[in-house]
């Protein structure tokens, strides 16, 4: 990819979505919502893998194209860039519990690309990013509540 | 199922084993106010107009 194209690239994130044993309930809704995000230009799906970890911790990886009935994901499958390497599978599966199945989704945040490019052109550089867990927000609010109670 | 040949031997982009994130559902089921109350409180906390106290 030329350097000028790279400068326009949005942030690339990944999700590992685990389905514990016996709890998967695939109705096609996830695929439809993902396709909506792609069609709306919010994200670009770069790669997808389906991982399984058996009770002994053995890992297996499946390409999206090997899924028998892709449904709405057919359109996405043809556009994948296959960024992930075999070495990545082990690192990604480290988060999984034995006996579970997980979907790995790598995507570009197209919505953030123009802002990121503008920040680069302004001389900025990303030095940190992250996600604030809902648990942390709850803990903060509960601590706030406790402070207010004590202060009353 | 085997991975595509293009993935084999390539340098990975995930540099270290990924740690399992805390599951949001578990937090909502934690002790304290009911899940519905907690959800409402969190939603209010991220609503525009809330000001931090310093």
CB distance from A127 to chain B under 8 Å?
Answer: no
| Yes or no, beta carbons of A84 and B12 under 8 Å apart | yes
Let me know if residue A142 belongs to a domain.
no
Cβ neighbours of B18 in A, within 8 Å: 16, 91-92, 94-95
* Separation between Cα atoms, residue A62 and residue B1, nearest integer Å: 5
* pLDDT: which is higher, A4 or A51: A51
Which of B1, B24, B32 has its CB closest to that of A62?
Answer: B1
How far is residue B24's CA from residue A138's CA, in Å, rounded to a whole number?
11
Mean pLDDT is lowest, of A8-12, A33-37, A132-136, for A132-136
Q: Which residues of B touch A (CB under 8 A)?
A: 1, 3-4, 6-22, 24, 27-28, 30, 32, 38, 41-42, 45-46
**Lowest-confidence pick of A18-22, A139-143, B25-29:** B25-29
Longest CA pairwise span in chain B (Å): 56
For residue A80, is it within any domain?
yes
pLDDT tens column, B7-41: 998 899 998 999 988 765 554 555 566 666 667 76
Check if A85 contacts B (Cβ < 8 Å). yes
A137 contacts B1? CB cut-off 8 A: no
Q: DSSP secondary-structure letter at A28?
A: S
Question: Coil, helix or strand for A68?
Answer: coil
pLDDT for residue A55: 94
| Alpha-carbon span A75 to A44, nearest angstrom | 12
Q: What is the C-alpha to C-alpha distance for residues A123 and B22, in angstroms, rounded to an integer? A: 35
Give, for A29, the enclosing helix (H) or strand (E).
helix A29-39
Domain span at residue A50 reads 12-122
Contact B1/A66 with Cβ under 8 angstroms?
A: yes
* Shortest CA distance from B52: residue in chain A: A144
Residue A137 domain-assigned (yes or no):
no
Residue A146 lies in a domain: no
The tally of domains found in chain A comes to: 1
Domain membership of residue A40 (yes or no) is yes
Residue A132 lies in a domain: no
Instruction: Locate A4 and state its tokens.
Output: 């000028």
Query: Could you tell me which residues come within 8 angstroms of residue A75 by beta carbon, excluding any fewer than 6 positions away?
Result: A35, A38
Return the number of CB contacts < 8 Å for A and B: 83
Q: Residue A39 — very low, low, confident or very high, per pLDDT cuts 50/70/90? A: very high
Residues 6+ apart with CB under 8 A from A113: A8, A9, A10, A11
Nearest to B41 among A16, A60, A141 (CB): A141
The answer to whether residue A5 sits within a structural domain is: no
Nearest partner of A49 among A19, A75, A88, judged by Cα: A88
Q: What is the sign of the dihedral through the CA atoms of B37, B39, B40 and B46?
A: positive
pLDDT of residue A25: 83
| Residue B48 C-alpha from the chain's centroid | 21
Mutate to test the interface with B, among A87, A98, A141 (most CBs of B within 10 A): A87
């Amino acid at each position: 990819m030329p350097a000028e194209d790279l400068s326009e690239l949005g942030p690339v994130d990944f999700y590992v979505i685990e389905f514990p044993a016996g709890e998967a309930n695939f109705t096609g809704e996830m695929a439809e919502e993902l396709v909506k995000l792609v069609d709306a230009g919010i994200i670009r799906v770069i790669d997808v893998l389906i991982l399984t970890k058996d009770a002994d911790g053995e890992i297996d990886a499946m390409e999206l194209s090997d899924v028998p009935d892709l449904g709405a994901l057919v359109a996405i499958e043809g556009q994948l860039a296959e960024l992930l390497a075999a070495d990545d599978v082990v690192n990604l599966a480290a988060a999984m519990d034995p006996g579970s199945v997980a979907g790995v989704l790598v995507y570009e945040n197209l919505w953030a690309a123009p802002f990121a490019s503008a920040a680069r052109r302004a001389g900025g550089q990303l030095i940190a990013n992250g996600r604030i867990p809902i648990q942390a927000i709850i803990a903060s609010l509960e601590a706030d509540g406790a402070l207010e109670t004590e202060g009353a | 199922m085997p991975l595509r040949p293009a993935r084999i031997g390539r340098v990975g982009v995930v540099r270290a084993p990924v740690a399992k994130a805390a599951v949001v559902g578990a937090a909502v089921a934690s002790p304290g106010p009911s899940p519905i109350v907690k959800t409402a409180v969190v939603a209010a906390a991220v609503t525009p107009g809330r000001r931090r106290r310093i």
